[in-house]
Amino acid sequence: MTALMIQGTGSNVGKSLLVAGLCRVARRRGLIVAPFKPQNMSNNAAVTADGGEIGRAQALQALACGIEAHTDMNPVLLKPESETGAQVVVQGKRIATVRARDYAALKPQLLASVLESFRRLKAAHDLVIVEGAGSPAEVNLRTGDIANMGFARAADVPVVLAGDIDRGGVIAQIVGTKAVLDPADAAMIGGFLVNRFRGDPALFDEGYKLIEERTGWRGFGVLPWFPQAGLLPAEDALDLGRGGGGGALKIACLALSRIANFDDLDPLKAEPSVSLTMVRAGEAIPGDTDLVILPGTKSTVGDLAFLRAQGWDIDLAAHLRRGGHVLGICGGYQMLGRTISDPEGIEGAPGDTEALGLLDLTTVMTQDKRLTRTRATHAASGAAMEGYEIHIGRTEGPDRARPFAFVDGAPEGAVSVDGRIMGSYLHGMFAGDDFRRAFLAGFGQVSAGGYGAGVEAVLDALADHIEAHLDVDGLLALAR
């Protein structure tokens, strides 16, 4: 038993969650297991113990395995910065920013790093469960592929194809994939499964048999809809819901066009005392909001323009006149200052951009990227904090004299004179129960606590769900 790969009939068919659940299943069976995704595209990243960054989904999958996240688990990470360009991160470190048309030429050079990381994981674990990206049916992208069949064949890893019945057309999804694949690629597929079924699975018996007959592939089961999936950190901004909760504390988060590391919000969304609203393009910040969060972004200057185009700068001014609070995290923190300088043109044309002017700070963009896990102390409450930093740019100014937190005695972030405008580079701060409790207490609310334990409980429930409905023994036997 060495490795098994879950590929999908399309993006967002549930591959990440399937891999997380199978990782927890394998761990509970006594296997030393690790996740792997050759190539990922996401602005929701995690900082690893070895000082790099990987997709957030692989960090969740590592948690399901009971191990530390490592850069080998996601050797190629693409972080979109515009509609046509993305930052390329290889084995945890940024190597370039390229346009989509140029990335195709770069892919063959990255296969060696992908296989190197995979072999290290394979050597150190009983089982590696691999997640594909997008779909192998995108045969126009097959040349130089490192994410799906190109990897599977290079590493000799058997594949199970997952289809999503909830979006409709699952028979065409799976049968159509077989029809367009090169025969040598199709030979790597050892079977299929159907994900996200609502209702009585027996109603799909005929469709399931039809897929088996048309493809010649073995079926590994029909997995019903898992309603607790929304309680786990999402990777794709498309999965961001409208918010949640009906608590007294009303928090609004601006859904920036390049929003990044938005799982910062998950612990707040899980609090009964909180009502969280995602404010979308074209919507106004609700007038009864207590706290507005400016989240992280992969393009601070670009999303500052996006924010103004929605009229949110005007809404923020009105919100503050009403006595409201604002918290900027990472890129959102940079936006709160007076100016953002980009002398090297890292995010676009070189020059200075006027920011929101809510804090007396200036930010200068630099090529150096800060990637670190951080322990801190909340300045206002003294509560212990844990988080991570993943940003370019240095922020300085008079309001840093009132820090949001202290890191090894040094000031971090900034707070306005009246304490209602706060900024910090620390992602993940709300996952810690102690800090979240203290932060909510500052708004007169009580925290329910236990966020980390809740995520663990959902992963166990997901493993139970998979064990109950899929042929897990058959899936594990397929690994080679």
Given 253, 330, 391, 465, the catalytic residue:
330
Is residue 427 annotated as part of the catalytic site, yes or no?
yes
Given 70, 325, 427, 465, the catalytic residue:
427
Would you state the structure tokens that stand for residue 140, as one six-digit string? 């126009």
Q: Exposed, middle or buried, 207 (CB in 10 Å: 0-12/13-18/19+)?
A: middle
Nearest to 271 by CA among 427, 445, 388, 459: 445
The three-class DSSP label of residue 449 is coil
Scored b (16 or more CB within 10 A) or e, 116-136 reads: ebbeebbeebbbbbbbbbbbb
Alpha carbon separation from 52 to 19, 38, 116, 119 (Å, rounded): 22, 15, 16, 19
Would you state the structure tokens that stand for residue 47, as one six-digit string? 């900082």
Is residue 253 annotated as part of the catalytic site, yes or no?
no
The three-class DSSP label of residue 158 is coil
**Dist. CA 148–CA 167, nearest whole Å:** 22
Alpha carbon separation from 76 to 36, 140, 299 (Å, rounded): 11, 20, 20
The three-class DSSP label of residue 365 is strand
**Dist. CA 71–CA 50, nearest whole Å:** 7
Alpha carbon separation from 284 to 71, 128, 331 (Å, rounded): 39, 46, 21
Tell me the β-bridge partners of 85. 99
Q: Which residues are marked as active site?
A: 330, 427
